Chains A and B, each alone.
Chain A
Amino acid sequence: MGVDMGSDMGSDLGLDSTDTRQSGAAAAPAAAPRILLIIPCFNEEASIGGLLSEIAATGRPYHTLVVDDGSTDATSAVASCRSPVARLAQNLGIGGAVQTGIKYAARQDFDFCIQIDGDGQHDPRAIETLLDAYRKDPANIIIGSRFIDHAGFCSTRMRRAGIRLIVLALNGLFSGGRITDPTSGMRLLDRSAIAFFAKAYPADFPEPISLAWAMRAGLTVSEVAVEMRPRATGVSSIDGLKSASYMIRVLGYILLARLMRSP
């Protein structure tokens, strides 16, 4: 099924024609890394426009790809004014949506891809923090963590307790990094991680499980403190009893990842 669009397809795909992608990207030196921002969205018409404006306002030569995960609202229409949009014919969940972006990054030969949520929780100004962290101390995956500085929105107490359990499991079962925020959806992937996740990416609970898979495969993970905001619109899909089910299943998947030879 592989379709190699090649590294010279960037201009074909109109990567330099939107508000969020700065014209300076074309004139940038050849050594400048190409960075793709992957923005998975599901019914985010209220927040996606503002997010893309914020990205443009950073003045950085980021490329963006909005992955519309089968939205039933005007997410695609709003986003397509400012960014290329990959429209998934049906809802695949966050894992399938993010992997679509990662496959795109692999085929377009991007040096880095950075995942940020379409609901406005992630401040685009923190993207540079991730890149700075990579420059200082490169790792295959760099997570924007809420729990290093404990600044900004840190989720509910119940959920933080659950995250602590996942942290214990990941740090206890795998080497390759000390993690504090495994459920953060803001993360940077370098070429090795892009190539790895383009082949396989977990469909269920992708944020913590992808870390387990990556560390199992020998990729390195580090973190940098970022501040997150409460989501601008919508509600979390993991609430109440679902949280307990989420925890049990995530821990099971982490254990499976430890036992399997290669994801």
Chain B
Amino acid sequence: MPTVLPSVETVIVISAFALIYMLVLLRKTLQGKFDLYDFLMLSMVAILPAGFALFPSLAYLVSHLTGVVFPFVVMFGALFLVVFAFLHNMTARLHRLERQNCALIQEQSLLALELQAKESSRPGG
């Protein structure tokens, strides 16, 4: 089915990028900078191109099934999908954290006010 196969150089470059990027991601995940969800989503940037380069038959099959002439269009489409899903969840998470941060700062100020009042009302305070 494949009409044009990726060159050896292309496969080497993409595989090397995928390997290095995955190692960097793994290191950051183990350091606690990313959680498993971040790791999986971000690793798609390496896994998808590597999958298309290493398994050209599969890439052509997917493009055939989706009715797209060029496999790289499917690949970029899939990458965009992953990025948008990641962005969507990140935006929701950001807003939730923003709300929680705001509530925490408000609580801290009200508790400090309460503590201050208790201390000043204590005999000899």
Contact = CB atoms under 8 A, between A and B. Distances in A.
A252 to B, nearest CB: 16
Interface stretch (B5-13, B34-42, B61-69, B113-121): B113-121
A99 B104 CA distance: 12
A87 B117 contact: no
Interface string B88-106: 0000000000100011111
20 contacts: A1-B103, A5-B110, A12-B114, A12-B121, A13-B114, A13-B117, A14-B116, A14-B117, A14-B120, A14-B121, A67-B109, A84-B113, A85-B113, A87-B112, A92-B102, A96-B105, A96-B106, A100-B106, A100-B109, A203-B98
A5 B102 contact: no
Given A104-B113, A203-B102, A11 B107 contact: no
B18 to A, nearest CB: 41
Contacts of A216: none
Chain B interface size, under 10 / 10 to 19 / 20 to 34 / 35 or more: 10 to 19
Contacts of B107: 1, 3
Contacts of B108: 89
Interface residues of A, number: 25
A28 interface: no
Interface string A1-24: 101010001011110010000000
A146 interface: no
Q: 10 smallest A-B Cβ distances: which pairs?
A: A13-B117, A86-B109, A100-B106, A14-B117, A96-B102, A12-B117, A88-B109, A86-B113, A89-B105, A1-B107
Given A3-B107, A96-B105, 17 more contacts: A3-B110, A11-B121, A12-B117, A12-B121, A13-B113, A67-B109, A84-B113, A85-B113, A86-B110, A87-B109, A88-B106, A89-B105, A89-B109, A92-B105, A103-B106, A103-B110, A203-B98
